Chains A and B, each alone.
Chain A
Amino acid sequence: MFDIKNITMIYDMDKAEKVYALRGFDLTLPDKGLVGIIGPSGSGKSTLMYCLSTLKKPTSGSILYNGREITNLRDSERETIRRDEFGFVFQRHFLVPYMSALDNVTVASAKNGAQTVENAKKLLSSLGLGNTEITKRPSKLSGGQRQRAAIARAMINSPKVLFADEPTAALDHDNAFLVMEILKKYSEENLVLVITHDRSILKDADSVIEMWDGDISAIKEANEI
């Protein structure tokens, strides 16, 4: 799915003391499966996710997505690929406060119409949000319910890649377990990249990439986790 070559990301390029977020490494990611990216704060795991998802452009190196170079795309092409191919689950849910859970999901849909609303309802229902909850605004939902609404928003376009940045950080143990179960199920057909510093949630991952100071320190397969 992703073929990464010698990727570097340098912040503060103009300053004397440059900050290397990614130090130049190669990486290949599969078409499907749950892949964890783990490491302490500042290790470069979020920057890697931003580069893979076209939210940031790396300073140098190449990222091939299904054989297509995505580091030099125009803004409109990057927007299209994010809408059509990728889904995002963020650490703090990032739900729009004035919208219901249902509206928060449909707003991300690549299609219009009643069918989209039905799909969103089904998706939310499959994630455990009933008819009452989906009409509530985020402020009236629990942390777990918000995160499930955020996951539904990420999944509404059935993305080939789902990026999840610290998806369980704001959740209690039970909700964290539930969210990871959902992501694991989705990874059966698609690629799910989970960024975390919590190793315990990656026990069911197909592989785990360990990062340290902008570089990959280890890649562990399922049987090594």
Chain B
Amino acid sequence: MSQKLYARTYLKNNKKRVATLIVSLTLCAVLNYLTSFLLGVSTETVKPLCYDVTRVMQYVYFTDMNKLVEDDTEYESFEEAMGLYNAELEKLGQEIENKCDKAEKVFAAQCIDAELRALFASWFFEGALMDSKDVETYLSFYDAKLVDGRLPQGEGEVVLDSVTMKNNGYNIGDPVEYYTLYTIVGVVESDLNLICGTPHPDDNSEKRLFIFSHDIKNLKDELDKIGITIDSEYTYWTDYESQTEDFQKNMVDAIEGSTQIVYVGIVILMCIALTVIYITFLRDRHSEWCLYASIGYSRKAVYFSIMRELAFTFALSIVIGVAVTALSVVLIDVLYLTPHGLNCQYLNIEAIKDVLLDFLVFFAILQLPVRYALYRIKTIDALGDDLY
């Protein structure tokens, strides 16, 4: 018998049913990919802060000032104590700049931070407040160029990079709150997120060390080499290694956990929905297959015709899924992410693998009702009322 049961006869005559399956499968593929894509926006947006900024700038401050100023004197005012601490810190900064070959420039400056808001997370990053004459030098380490407004000149003025401006919805003239209010006076263009400016007289916070270097990966080790000890008990610092570790733990792992939960949830729901829908379709075709068995088709022939139908349905779902997903991703990026200063990754190989795995799982699960339907095939005496 060379004759086989063609899948196309069913497919072309049952467009609504086939479309239902294709829409379900496509929806699942699109949902799963977009979940990964959208959750990935957080990591993609924050990643440059952790990986790229710390390749240029490391910063350190003492959470316990007494570790830097070893003095039992009781000061008359907080300002007096702070002045002493800041002076010691500047000395330390100078020492680092002189002794550490890898340190290109060290700023002892007050700090201001800015927030980068990703879709499902946010990340704070620090910048220096310094004398206005040092601002250009500071910006040069970021390869930053002023593109709008002006550089900080008076007290309490800051500039930010354009992405952070967009991300926060800032405009020139807007205030930025950090202990007190700072005013945005300019926008710079840089591959890195940055904020810097001039100190505000109402801000009495302690200074910190901003160390510019393209070679330092582990700040503690580098400082150890020149006889300066920092310890996490009384010091906080950021460098490439600490930030990437922090990023992996607090961002990538956390997002991955959420992604897996959403992913598994979608797959389970889709498995149930698809199986229920498909069982209904199979049930309606019982008599048709009994007829085929009666006129001489084997169960194997029926099975392969069902598999051809399914394979076509799955293949078309993948094609449509790819098109819909690509369009969705581009639209989301153009209409929302880019205007909000958010980064994304269009092509996510892991997510593609997951979607293909979903399809394999669905295909495997649908074998169960198919096998059961084949098992129920009888011949002529089992033909029901659903044939004309």
Contacts and interface: CB of A to CB of B under 8 A. Distances in A.
Contact of B387 (A76, A97, A111): A97
Given A50-B380, A55-B379, A111 B291 contact: no
28 contacts: A50-B380, A50-B381, A55-B294, A55-B380, A75-B298, A76-B298, A79-B1, A82-B295, A83-B3, A83-B295, A86-B296, A88-B294, A88-B295, A88-B380, A92-B383, A92-B387, A92-B388, A94-B387, A94-B388, A97-B388, A103-B13, A107-B6, A107-B9, A109-B3, A110-B2, A110-B3, A111-B3, A112-B4
Given A96-B291, A146-B388, 7 more contacts: A56-B381, A76-B298, A79-B1, A83-B3, A94-B388, A100-B13, A111-B3
B49 to A, nearest CB: 58
Given A82-B296, A110-B3, A90 B383 contact: yes
B5 interface: yes
Q: How many B residues are at the interface, by size bracket? A: 20 to 34
Given A93-B387, A98-B13, A112 B3 contact: yes
Interface in A81-139: 81-84, 86, 88, 90, 92-100, 103, 107-112, 138-139
A82 B291 CA distance: 12
A103 B9 contact: yes
Given A103-B9, A112-B4, A93 B294 contact: no
B294 A82 contact: yes
Interface of A: 50, 55-56, 75-76, 79-84, 86, 88, 90, 92-100, 103, 107-112, 138-139, 141, 146, 153
Contacts of A99: 9, 13
Given A94-B383, A97-B388, A146-B388, A111 B2 contact: yes
A22 B13 CA distance: 42
Interface in B1-47: 1-6, 9-10, 13-14
A76 B298 CA distance: 7
Interface centre among A90, A100, A153 (most CB of B within 10 A): A90
Contacts of B6: 107
Contacts of A103: 9, 13
A204 to B, nearest CB: 26
A141 B379 CA distance: 25
A80 B2 CA distance: 11
Contact of A95 (B1, B13, B294, B387): B387
Contacts of A96: 288, 291, 387
A56 B3 CA distance: 24
Interface of B: 1-6, 9-10, 13-14, 287-288, 291-298, 379-381, 383, 386-388
Nearest to B289: A96
Contacts of B295: 82-83, 88, 108, 153
Chain A CB within 10 Å, residue with most, of B1, B10, B383: B1
Nearest to A156: B295
A122 B16 CA distance: 31
Contacts of A82: 294-296
Contacts of B298: 75-76, 79
Contacts of A92: 383, 387-388
B385 to A, nearest CB: 8
A97 B386 contact: yes
Given A90-B383, A94-B287, A99-B13, A110 B1 contact: yes
A95 B4 contact: no
Contacts of B383: 90, 92, 94
Nearest to B293: A79
A93 B386 CA distance: 11
A99 to B, nearest CB: 6
A141 B288 CA distance: 18
Contacts of A139: 388
Contacts of A98: 10, 13-14
Question: 3 tightest CB-CB pairs across the interface, nearest first?
Answer: A83-B296, A138-B388, A82-B296
